[in-house]
């Protein structure tokens, strides 16, 4: 295979950062209006700023910007009257404390005009849901332990600030999540009716007084008539290994909570039917070292009855569902699930139980069926296209979507190369699927070096556009890029999960190497100039690889796990890992067997270590230990440190430095280029 390089378009990191990042699609209850959030580079590349745009769902008109404050707006949802609610850190014009930077809830009238603040609790609005028919909302806002109301909470915050105190006292587990500590405020759910005119919400009803930490990580929905809120909630246990998210229904008039599900499972993303009678939620069974927990959709009857206790809606469905939403007639549920390198949209008929795959290629999110049930709106992306709005016929199988008018940067996007689906075999004969991108001009006479991207998770899949690990920026620099889905990747059934469960260092490693062997066999790829790279679990695997083989010219290990025993005690959800590797206090053998640090004496591959200080999923201690161990053993290594980033590199200018450093490092070690220290480093 030869790729013609004539007239191949360029795609640099600046080109990538110029693209709008679309998220949070929202359809009005009457189906007449469609909006989306778009994030763009702002403040000289120091941050991403988000605004809300209206889309022309039927015609060809370009998106129309609706909001434009300097801090940005996000999470837009429609009220029944067509007004638009969203969150923003834009200061309240009537608030003397303009330095306050906690998100408030705002309302943009249906007829246009100026947006006005609707609710501004002292702890900020974390998330909210709107009743489809009643003018009511439920929102999550943190309050200090023991605070009676928002005024009480504000006094407590001021007292802490005046005393210069930022200390926290923890009594439960976990105490932090991804990039923030859980406290000192406790999330509470508040209910209120949307006031008329210019009024603000005053004295919203606290549905969950004295919740402790029970609503950390919760998700919720509100019934169309505003009578019921369904929320996930931590179970009542002090055992970190037994922590699970139950499901409760809360009466908004009385505040009474009724358990819907309190079994050995994790419930999330509840969605209440348009008729208000039922709720569907994602159920993840609790995993053990012997068996990974399966995922499914479960239906509950909000009035008791036949589905009390929950009914599995997808028996025998060998994929993991997510993002479930109801059709307008309450007779169908739409959801997505990873499936063999894609993440299609599905339609589940509740009466027959039949599941119809609506889409073919691509990864779908933000599903919104029209009220008449005929059209499904969504955001869709692929390996070669960032998220964009599309429409599907809600009853046709494996169709190509109708593309809605989008932003010019996305409409006009042209990339250096396409992507092809390839497959190799592991030692045991199991197929290992991958995506492969080859740069223009690569041929048997001029083969391209290969960059192997190993995805994080590890319960994950390469099936969509990626901002952090964008292969096209590497293809632009002459690299072929391999995106393998080894064992533990989602979208290949439970057997693929079982096969790699607790066997990171042998089965998953073997699959990655099998995929690399297959790609290096292509005549237009130079197998002698290959680099391994990944983030999170992908970084773990890069660390493991260089301790087992010296076939790679360089490795890039971002936010990576290094010493699994130490990681267990420092990560935000350390006890969760016991569900795969067992109790380390009784038997640490699996942690040690699969820990990359045990092979440090065998590492000879030049390695670039990257980590953010604010990463609590894979704490900075992993990178510091890795760095010490590499230098102690004489490995050619560099450490790129971001004091203001977490598990992800989010700020545009930091992203530029990330790509510049990574590309310079692998070019130097795999292609003999001269290393040039990035100017800002």
pLDDT digits (tens, 9 = 90+) for 275-301: 999 999 999 999 999 999 999 999 999
Residue 59: per-residue pLDDT: 73
Two structure tokens written together for 680: 């800002």
Of 491, 487, 497, the residue nearest 424 (C-alpha): 487
Per-state percent for the chain, helix, strand, coil, to nearest 5: 20, 35, 45
Residue 444: per-residue pLDDT: 96
Residue 304: per-residue pLDDT: 60
Residue 3: per-residue pLDDT: 53
Please give the helix or strand (H or E) that residue 583 lies within, else none: none
| Residue 425 pLDDT > 80 | yes
Q: pLDDT tens digit string along 440-488?
A: 999 999 999 999 999 999 999 999 999 999 999 999 999 999 999 999 9
**Average pLDDT of the residues in 8-21:** 95
**Average pLDDT of the residues in 549-555:** 97
Residue 198: per-residue pLDDT: 84
Two structure tokens written together for 441: 């001009």
Over the range 595-604, which residues count as b (16 or more CB within 10 Å of their CB) and which as e?
bbbbebeebe
- CA–CA dist 49, 54 (Å, integer): 17
State the distance between the two ends of the chain, measured CA to CA, in whole angstroms: 40
Percentage of the chain lying above the pLDDT 90 cut: 93
| Residue 7 pLDDT > 90 | no
Residue 31: per-residue pLDDT: 95
386 CB burial (10 A radius; 0-12, 13-18, 19+): buried
**Average pLDDT of the residues in 156-166:** 95
| Residue 647 pLDDT > 80 | yes
Over the range 490-512, which residues count as b (16 or more CB within 10 Å of their CB) and which as e?
bbbebebbebbbbbbbebbbbbb
**Average pLDDT of the residues in 179-187:** 94
Q: How far is CA 321 from the centre of its chain?
A: 15
Q: Determine the angle formed by the axes of helices 537-546 and 509-520, rounding to 10 degrees.
A: 80
Over the range 435-459, which residues count as b (16 or more CB within 10 Å of their CB) and which as e?
bbbbbbbbeeeebbbbbbbbbbebb
Residue 305 pLDDT level (bands cut at 50, 70, 90): low
- Yes or no: say if 659 and 45 are a contact pair by the CB < 8 Å rule: no
Residue 111 pLDDT level (bands cut at 50, 70, 90): confident
Phi-psi label, residue 599: left if phi above 0, alpha if psi -120 to 50, beta otherwise = alpha
Q: Where are the beta strands (DSSP E) in 441-597?
A: 448-454, 480-484, 525-535, 554-558
* C-alpha dist (Å) from residue 609 to 226, 345, 481, 517: 50, 37, 20, 25
Two structure tokens written together for 46: 């120091």
Q: How many Cβ atoms from other residues are within 10 Å of residue 296's Cβ? A: 20
Kindly give, in sequence order, each residue whose CB lies less than 8 Å from that of residue 269, ignoring residues fewer than 6 positions away.
219, 281, 282, 322, 323, 324
Residue 2: per-residue pLDDT: 43
| Residue 373 pLDDT > 60 | yes
Kindly calculate the radius of gyration of the chain based on its CA atoms and give it in whole angstroms: 25
- CA–CA dist 283, 268 (Å, integer): 7
CATH top-level class of 420-671: alpha beta
Residue 112 pLDDT level (bands cut at 50, 70, 90): confident
Task: Classify 154 as helix, strand or coil.
Answer: helix
**Average pLDDT of the residues in 393-399:** 97
**Average pLDDT of the residues in 417-431:** 95
Of 86, 130, 83, the residue nearest 110 (C-alpha): 83
Residue 307 pLDDT level (bands cut at 50, 70, 90): very low
Q: Is the peptide bond before 461 cis (omega within 30 degrees of 0)?
A: no
- Yes or no: say if 453 and 462 are a contact pair by the CB < 8 Å rule: yes
* C-alpha dist (Å) from residue 67 to 44, 75, 90, 238, 531: 20, 12, 11, 45, 44
| Residue 93 pLDDT > 90 | no
Task: Classify 543 as helix, strand or coil.
Answer: helix
Q: Please state which of the four CATH numbers 2.60.40, 2.60.120, 2.40.128, 1.10.3470 is assigned to the domain occupying 121-155+176-312.
A: 2.40.128
Two structure tokens written together for 533: 């790279």
| Residue 72 pLDDT > 60 | yes
Of 505, 360, 490, the residue nearest 433 (C-alpha): 490
Greater confidence (32 vs 96) lies with 32
Q: pLDDT tens digit string along 602-626?
A: 999 999 999 999 999 999 999 999 9
Query: What single string gives the DSSP state of each residue in 207-260?
Result: SSSS-TTTTTT--EEE-TTSSEEEEEEE-S-S-GGG--EEEEEEETTT--EEEE
Residue 127: per-residue pLDDT: 97
- Yes or no: say if 355 and 319 are a contact pair by the CB < 8 Å rule: no
Two structure tokens written together for 589: 């053998």
Residue 593: per-residue pLDDT: 97
Mean pLDDT of the chain: 95
| Residue 99 pLDDT > 50 | no
Kindly give, in sequence order, each residue whose CB lies less than 8 Å from that of residue 650, ignoring residues fewer than 6 positions away.
48
Place of tokens 């019921």: 228
Whole-prediction pTM: 0.96
Residue 100: per-residue pLDDT: 59
Task: Classify 387 as helix, strand or coil.
Answer: strand
* C-alpha dist (Å) from residue 667 to 531, 533, 560: 10, 13, 22
Query: What single string gives the DSSP state of each residue in 77-97?
Result: EE-TTS-EEEEE-PPPTT-S-
Residue 219 pLDDT level (bands cut at 50, 70, 90): very high
């Amino acid at each position: 295979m030869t790729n013609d390089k004539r007239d191949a378009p360029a795609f640099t990191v600046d080109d990538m950062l110029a693209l709008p990042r679309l998220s949070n699609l929202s359809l009005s209850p009457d189906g007449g209006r469609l909006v989306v959030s778009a994030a763009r580079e702002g403040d000289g590349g120091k941050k991403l700023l988000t605004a809300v745009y209206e889309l022309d769902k039927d015609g060809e008109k370009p998106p129309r910007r609706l909001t434009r404050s300097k801090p940005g707006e996000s999470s837009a949802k429609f009220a029944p009257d067509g007004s638009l609610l969203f969150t923003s850190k834009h200061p309240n014009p009537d608030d003397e404390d303009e330095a306050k930077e906690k998100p408030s809830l705002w309302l943009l009238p249906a007829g246009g005009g100026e947006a006005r603040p609707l609710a501004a609790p002292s702890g900020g609005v974390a998330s909210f849901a709107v009743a489809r028919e009643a003018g009511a909302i439920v929102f999550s806002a943190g309050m200090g332990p023991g605070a009676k109301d928002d005024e009480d909470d504000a006094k407590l915050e001021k007292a802490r600030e005046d005393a210069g105190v930022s200390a926290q006292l923890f009594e439960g587990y976990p105490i932090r999540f991804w990039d923030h500590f859980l406290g000192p405020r406790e999330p509470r759910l508040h209910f209120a009716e949307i006031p008329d005119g210019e009024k603000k919400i005053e004295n919203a009803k606290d549905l969950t007084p004295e919740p402790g930490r029970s609503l950390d990580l919760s998700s919720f929905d509100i019934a169309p008539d505003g009578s019921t809120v369904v929320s996930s909630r931590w179970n009542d246990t002090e055992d970190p290994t037994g922590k699970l998210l139950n499901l409760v229904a809360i009466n908004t008039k009385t505040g009474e909570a009724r358990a819907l599900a309190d079994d050995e499972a994790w419930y999330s993303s509840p969605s209440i039917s348009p008729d208000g009678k039922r709720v569907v939620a994602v159920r993840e069974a609790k995993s053990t070292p012997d068996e990974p927990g399966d995922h499914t959709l479960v239906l509950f009857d909000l009035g008791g009855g036949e589905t009390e206790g929950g009914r599995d809606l997808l028996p025998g469905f060998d994929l993991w569902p997510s993002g479930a939403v109801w059709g307008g007639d309450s007779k169908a549920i739409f959801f997505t699930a990873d499936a063999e390198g894609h993440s299609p949209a599905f339609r589940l008929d509740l009466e027959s139980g039949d599941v119809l795959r609506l889409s073919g290629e691509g990864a779908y999110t933000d599903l919104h069926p029209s009220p008449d049930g005929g059209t499904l709106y969504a955001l869709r992306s692929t390996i070669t296209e960032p998220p964009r709005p599309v429409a599907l016929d809600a009853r046709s199988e494996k169709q190509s979507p109708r593309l809605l008018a989008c932003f010019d940067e996305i409409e006009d996007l042209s990339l250096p190369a396409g992507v092809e689906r390839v497959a190799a075999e592991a030692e045991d004969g199991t197929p290992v699927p991958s995506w492969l991108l080859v740069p223009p001009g690569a041929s048997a006479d001029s083969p391209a070096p290969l960059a192997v991207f190993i995805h994080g998770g590890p319960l994950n899949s390469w099936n969509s556009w990626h901002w952090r690990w964008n292969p096209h920026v590497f293809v632009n620099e002459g690299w072929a890029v391999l995106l393998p889905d080894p064992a533990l990747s989602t979208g290949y059934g439970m057997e693929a999960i079982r096969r790699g469960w607790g066997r990171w260092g042998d089965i998953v490693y073997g699959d990655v190497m099998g995929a690399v062997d297959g790609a290096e066999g292509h005549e237009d790829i130079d197998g002698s100039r290959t680099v391994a790279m990944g983030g999170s679990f992908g970084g773990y695997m890069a660390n493991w690889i260089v301790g087992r083989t010296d076939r790679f010219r360089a490795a890039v290990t971002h936010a990576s796990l290094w010493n699994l025993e130490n990681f267990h005690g420092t990560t935000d959800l350390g006890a969760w890992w016991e569900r795969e590797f067992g109790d380390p206090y009784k038997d640490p053998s699996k942690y040690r067997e699969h820990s990359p640090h045990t092979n440090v004496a065998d590492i000879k591959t030049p390695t670039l270590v990257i980590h953010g200080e604010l990463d609590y999923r894979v704490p900075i201690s992993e990178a510091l230990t890795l760095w010490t161990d590499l230098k102690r053993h004489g490995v050619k290594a560099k450490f790129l440190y971001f004091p203001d980033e977490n598990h992800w590199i989010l700020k545009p200018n930091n992203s530029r430095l990330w790509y510049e450093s990574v590309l310079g490092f692998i070019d130097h070690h795999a292609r003999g280029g001269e290393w040039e220290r990035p100017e800002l480093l």
